[in-house]
Amino acid sequence: MKKNLLLLLVLISINCRAQDSLQTLNFNRNHIKNTGMQVLGGWAAANIVTGGIGWASARGVTKYFHQMNAIWNVANLGVALLGYTATITDKNHVYTPQECLEEQRKLEKLFLVNGALDFVYIGTGLYLKHRGDINNSDQNRGYGSAIILQGAFLLLFDATMYASERKAGNKLSRFLTKNPITFDGQKVGMIVNF
């Protein structure tokens, strides 16, 4: 009986240290999201301000370029604010290992899908710019150039976020492989990979 109790205490103490490490990995994932949303929000705010000024003061292609940048980045700012708010709400959430893996996979998939959409944005911008050249349309040329710029930025942003999240996901997978027994303060569990 004493040996079983001692073994249980050793497992729990090992797992308490492991749980702290799991929470550190969760904190790091949240920090990556938070930083990303700050970068996206900063980009959006700068584009709204410069786009608004250019929209009000420029003419021709340049006016439409600034107009689309301002409009596009209202949406980017909304996404950044929602994402940033979610990171604040999520800051103190304690995840189980399974929830942690699910969150990590969702984030990686999100940035991967967004990266694919960025190519669609760039292609749409190229098409609009081409149509503007054919039809001598300042609006299409300006909008096309702005969408190419925004798509290129978002591609860089999403690729960077995906790479950062993928690296965090690999650390999480290695951690969970090395620490299959979990303890959340109330119950002991074991992770089994099939």
Residue of 64, 78, 76 whose CA lies nearest to 146: 64
Beta partners for residue 151, in sequence order: none
pLDDT value for 9: 42
Residues in the chain: 194
* Predicted local confidence at residue 181, as pLDDT: 57
What does 71-114 look like in DSSP terms, one character per residue? HHHHHHHHHHHHHHHHHHHHTTPPPPHHHHHHHHHHHHHHHHHH
For 111-144, the pLDDT digits (tens) are 999 999 999 999 999 999 999 999 999 999 999 9
DSSP β-bridge partners for residue 26: none
Whole-number pLDDT of residue 49:
98
**Residues facing 181 on adjacent strands:** 190
Which pLDDT score, from 0 to 100, does residue 10 have? 44
- Asked if residue 184 has pLDDT above 80, the reply is no
Closest of 182, 179, 185, 116 to residue 151, by C-alpha: 116
Residues 1-28: pLDDT tens digits? 555 544 444 444 444 444 457 788 888 8
* 72-111 per-position pLDDT tens digit: 999 999 999 999 999 998 888 877 888 888 888 999 999 9
Which has more pLDDT, 39 or 27? 39
The dihedral formed by the CA atoms of 7, 11, 17 and 20, expressed in degrees to the nearest 10: -150
Region class of 60: left (phi > 0), else alpha (psi between -120 and 50), else beta: left
* Residue 150: per-residue pLDDT: 98
Indicate the pTM of the whole model: 0.80
Output the pLDDT for position 4: 53
Widest distance between CA atoms in the chain: 87
Burial grade of 115 (CB within 10 A; 0-12, 13-18, 19 or more): middle
